[in-house]
Amino acid sequence: MPIPDMQSVSSSNISAVGYDSENQTVYVQFLNGSTYAYKGVPEHEYENLRTAPSVGSYLNRNYKNIYPYERA
């Protein structure tokens, strides 16, 4: 599955995020180079992540333990 265009974000541990609307998958690229795919995420939840004051905190609070994820 190709990773969609990533948008840079200002974060201490995340470099970019992207969204595949067809598969409702959010891609999160970390500064260490790893990328993870979070499955079943509605588009508005991706927008919330992308525009959050702290992307990393938002990811921890609203994605981890909620959406299944795997290394992309």
Residue 2, pLDDT above cutoff 90: no
Mean pLDDT of 13-25: 97
**pTM value surpassing 0.75:** yes
Q: Is the pLDDT of residue 24 over 70?
A: yes
Strand partners, 20: 25
Give the largest Cα separation in the chain, rounded.
29
Q: Rounded CA gap, 48 and 32, in Å?
A: 23
Under the banding of pLDDT at 50, 70 and 90, the label for residue 62 is very high
**Average pLDDT, stretch 27-51?**
97
State the DSSP H helix or E strand holding residue 45, giving kind and residue range, or none if neither.
Answer: helix 43-51
The gap between the terminal CA atoms of the chain, to the nearest Å, is 9
Distance CA 56, CA 27 (A): 13
**What does the alpha-carbon distance between residue 11 and residue 48 come to, in Å, rounded to a whole number?**
14
